[in-house]
């Protein structure tokens, strides 16, 4: 079981490293520095909601590829036996599903009306920044809800895990107007695409 976990995790680390390198090549360029609004790189100051959401996305990937890999990761990281790891995995994935559902709802509320954008032009950039902030807020709220469902010991273990994960996560939020102007692209079209996808779900 742990062999499967390590095999999948290795693949994830390669993908993550490649993505991180590509991002660093972009934002590391001095002409992009003024587009960064908030940046955390392997920092204990990373918000809990970001650490949780990022970790849950990886856990969801592991579990969908091989359920034993998700259990194996929890066993390794949390020091639980297989049965408790399965129970904890189910609770985490249920919470992640709630987070994703609420993020979709909030995203739609911020940017869309009946499947079409509610704003255009420069106002789109403000909405994109609000969406970034809302994702963090939603995840942070659900972390607290999750902890309230656990005993003190499990809540403390979860926090220790998130604190450890923070040291291997990079997270950037952009000044959207500056970033889109520097990198190019059609922000109006991007928002329209988001609204369309959310409307047909």
Question: Residues 131-162: pLDDT tens digits?
Answer: 999 999 999 999 999 999 998 999 999 999 99
Q: How far is CA 152 from CA 8, 53, 91, 109, in A?
A: 31, 21, 16, 35
- Of 112 and 12, the one with more pLDDT: 112
Average pLDDT over residues 80-84: 91
Residue count of the chain, please give it.
Answer: 201
What pLDDT, on a 0 to 100 scale, did the predictor assign at position 19? 36
Write down the domain spans for the chain: 2-25+55-199
CB-neighbour burial class of residue 53 (10 A; exposed 0-12, middle 13-18, buried 19+): buried
- Of 152 and 8, the one with more pLDDT: 152
Q: Which of 54-68, 70-84, 163-177 has the highest mean pLDDT?
A: 163-177
What pLDDT, on a 0 to 100 scale, did the predictor assign at position 11? 40
What pLDDT, on a 0 to 100 scale, did the predictor assign at position 13? 41
Which residue, among 87, 127, 110, 103, has the nearest Cα to 49 in the 3D structure? 103
- Given a cut of 80, whether residue 31 has pLDDT beyond it is no
Following DSSP, what letter does each residue of 98-127 receive, concatenated? HHHHHHHHHHHHHHEETTEES--THHHHHH
DSSP helix/strand/coil, 185:
coil
pLDDT category at 26 given cuts 50, 70, 90 is low
- Given a cut of 70, whether residue 24 has pLDDT beyond it is no
Question: What secondary structure letter does DSSP report for 1?
Answer: -
- Given a cut of 80, whether residue 77 has pLDDT beyond it is yes
Q: Which residues contact 55 (CB under 8 A, 6 or more apart)?
A: 161, 162, 165
- Of 12 and 41, the one with more pLDDT: 41
């Amino acid at each position: 079981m742990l062999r499967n976990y390590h095999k999948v995790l290795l693949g994830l680390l390669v993908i993550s490293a490649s993505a991180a390198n590509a991002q660093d090549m972009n934002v590391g360029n001095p002409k992009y520095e003024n587009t960064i609004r908030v940046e955390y790189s392997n920092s204990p100051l990373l918000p809990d909601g970001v650490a949780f959401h990022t970790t849950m996305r990886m856990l969801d990937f592991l579990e969908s590829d091989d359920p034993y890999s998700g259990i194996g990761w929890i066993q390794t990281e949390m020091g639980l036996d297989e049965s408790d790891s399965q129970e904890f995995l189910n609770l985490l994935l249920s919470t992640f599903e709630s987070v994703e559902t609420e993020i979709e709802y909030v995203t739609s509320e911020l940017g869309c009306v009946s499947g079409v954008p509610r704003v255009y032009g420069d106002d789109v950039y403000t909405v994109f920044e609000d969406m970034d902030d809302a994702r963090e807020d939603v995840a942070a709220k659900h972390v607290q809800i999750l902890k309230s469902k656990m005993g003190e010991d499990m809540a403390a273990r979860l926090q220790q895990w998130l604190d450890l994960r923070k040291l291997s996560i990079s997270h950037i939020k952009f000044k959207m107007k500056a970033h889109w102007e520097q990198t190019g692209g059609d922000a109006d079209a991007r928002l329209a695409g988001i609204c369309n996808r959310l409307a047909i779900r």
